[in-house]
Structure 1
Amino acid sequence: MRAVFLDKQTFSSTLDFSIIEQQLTKLSCYATTSATEVISRCHDAEIIITNKVPLNAEILADLPKLRLICISATGYNNVDINAAKRLNIAVSNVSGYAGQSVAQYVFAQLLECYQQTNHHNNNTRQGLWSTSDAFCYHGNGFSELAGKTLGIIGYGNLGKAVAAIAQAFNMQVLISERPKTTTVRAGRVAFAQVIEQADIISLHCPQTAETENLIDASVLSRMKNTAVLVNTARGALVDEVALLNALKNKEIAYAILDVLRQEPPPVAHPLLNSKLANLKITAHIAWASIEAQQRLINLLANNIIAFKQGQRLNRLD
């Protein structure tokens, strides 16, 4: 089977793709692919591997040899699943590969936020300890995670991995029920209660019509003014204008963002250019430990193997 990887640049160059190559007669890889390049690059492909390249109904209709789309991510809003069904094109995704990577990222950032590690390292580099009259040099104070309340919104593989580490830190974990629901399941807490009680809110839910702008001006105003917001899910979950205002006005204490609504973001993005001390932004890398990336590649190979054997593994169609 002939396959085309449309956006291999979304992965580290150090990964081993041989497990995928062994399942194919030919694998053609492109660093990135624009929408106008898909048809010309994939006209002979039976399999397309895509992370974020859009595959809409019009494109799929012009690829008569295509039999399988492998989405190299959990989210699948870049592929028209209904059109694929009509055209008898199988679609699969991957999940469960990034729990430890995301959880490690969340706590690396929280530890820096609460422990002020870089600040204290810099104090020593600047000679402030050497000139101290006391045996220690305090600098900025730091706080313990123990006893803090962590609100988790989205309790799948990622949310559960974060919760497990939080419990090891002796934090209180509140698992949010879905917003705008009147029924609260056992082990869950009403969304409004989580928003109001949490010292830290960590987002792990998918982007849907219901979750877009989930964290808006109203929600931000109900959070503690000492609260920290962490978003490693999707940028569109947060109203970015409202967040910028909330940080400027100290309605919340801090925000840690690994995702933005537009990726890559424009150079003039308001959050990137805010220069706020209480905002930290990274480039959608929480999922991307080397180990997690390799697990994802292995899962893609499993999906191809299953398809060749007539099995429905991780199928979306």
Structure 2
Amino acid sequence: MEKIVFLDRATLAPQIRLSRPLFEHEFIEYDHTSADQVAARLAGASIAITNKVPLTAEVLAQLPALKFVAVAATGTDCIDKAACERHGIRVSNIRGYAVNTVPEHTFALMLALRRNLIAYRDDVLNGEWQKSGQFCFFNHPIHDLGGMTLGIIGEGVLGQRVAEIAKAFGMRVLFAAHKGREGLGPLYTPWEEMLATSDVITIHSPLTPQTRGMLSTTEFRAMKRKPLIINTARGGLVDEDALVRALDEGLISGIGFDVLSSEPPDDDNPLMKIAKRPNVIVTPHVAWASDEAQQSLADQLMDNIHRFVCAEPVNLVV
């Protein structure tokens, strides 16, 4: 009998259904699991499910029964994959489920910032419209997306879908060549050129040692068109202190972030200190989380487990 333990069920909305496997099993769910609870809760488990709870080399060494880790997300940076490989533990992730929800959230942030929706909403709530004496007023600049240049960092499924939507808005799309690499072909725009010519830059890259902090002071100073920066990928991809300085210095015009370097953020997180500014939008890592996308994720998650037990594993990263 397989023992399946879901360490952080509360990372999926309560209305999302988890189909039970057809094979004999015990299924245990925890809403949340702290780092010091992981080893005890996975003791004797053959299958672990985690979204964001880290599985470290130290913990994995204490779990001889563990055979499979089903990550309830696309990103697997919370798993020590080298340790899994040493212990013969297979790891799967979720793919393709967010092809609508993340790009739509990306454009929601983009549109809100380009059209100053937050500032105008605040004006209405504060009575500015009522005081204006006319049918409209122009307290804040409003800009179209059409005709703007969009720099996309990350050319995977999400980056490609963002490009499709951008073209429908009439935007010029640039896929950035990987930072520090050349020779990627004519479909890519050199990194420095993308930074210098984009009106909006949106990030859709995984977090790896190579991509951590890919946007920092040097990059912000190279952004000649003072772009919006949109990040619905991972918080660690951007140096947050440098980001705030760039905003203060006018090197960029606004930021829409769904992800931060630590989640939930501490009160002293640089972006939390400026979150009330009208050209700053911070959302709580929900770009992926439409009900439709979450159900698709849950269905794929349970299918990954079923196929592993049936010796037909899919979506393996280790």
How would you bin the TM-score normalised by the shorter chain?
over 0.9
- Structure 2 CA distance, aligned partners of 1:93 and 1:205? 16
Distance 2:135 2:78 in 1: 58
In the alignment, is the contact (CA less than 8 A) between 2:203 and 2:230 conserved in 1? yes
* Distance in 2, Cα, partners of 1:24 & 1:200: 51
Alignment of 1:1-317 (within 5 A): 1-17=2-18, 19-22=19-22, 25-120=25-120, 134-274=134-274, 275-317=276-318
CA distance in 1, matches of 2:118, 2:182: 44
- 1:73 Cα shift? 1.2
68 and 137 in structure 1: CA distance in 2 versus 1, 3 angstrom threshold: same
The TM-score, its normalising length taken from structure 2, stands at 0.93
Give unmatched runs, 5+ long, in structure 1: none
**Contact 2:118–2:278 (CA<8 Å) still a contact in 1?**
no
Q: Aligned equivalents of 2:242 and 2:126: distance in 1?
A: 37
> Aligned in 2, Cα 1:93/1:44: closer, same or farther, shift over 3 Å?
same
Q: CA deviation at 1:225?
A: 4.9
In 2 relative to 1, CA 203–47 (structure 1 residues): closer, same or farther, beyond 3 Å? same
In the aligned structure 2, how far is the partner of 1:278 from the partner of 1:121?
12
RMSD after superposition:
1.9
Secondary structure of the structure 2 residue equivalent to 1:142: coil
Give the Å deviation of 1:123. Answer: 5.1
Equivalent AA in structure 2 for residue 185 of structure 1: G
Shift of 1:285: 1.0
Q: How many Å separate the matches in 1 of 2:21 and 2:190?
A: 47
When structure 1 is superposed on structure 2, of 127-136 and 26-35 the one drifting more is 127-136
Contact 2:151 / 2:174 at 8 angstroms: preserved in 1?
yes
Instruction: Report the Cα distance in structure 2 between the residues aligned to 1:216 and 1:286, rounded to whole angstroms.
Output: 23
Q: 1:283 is matched by which residue type in structure 2? A: P
CA distance in 2, matches of 1:28, 1:105: 32
SS in 2 for 1:105: helix
Aligned-residue offset at 1:59: 1.6
For 1:41-91, what per-residue CA distance to the aligned partner results, in whole angstroms no more than 9, with x for missing partners? 121211100111111222222222212110111121222222222222221
Structure 2 residue runs without a partner (length 5+)? none
Offset of 1:182 from its aligned partner? 2.2
Identity %: 37
TM-score calculated relative to the size of structure 1: 0.93
Contact persistence 1:184–1:190 (CA under 8 A): no
Aligned mates of 2:172, 2:125 — CA distance in 1: 36
Q: CA deviation at 1:183?
A: 1.0
Distance apart, 1:39 and its partner CA: 2.0
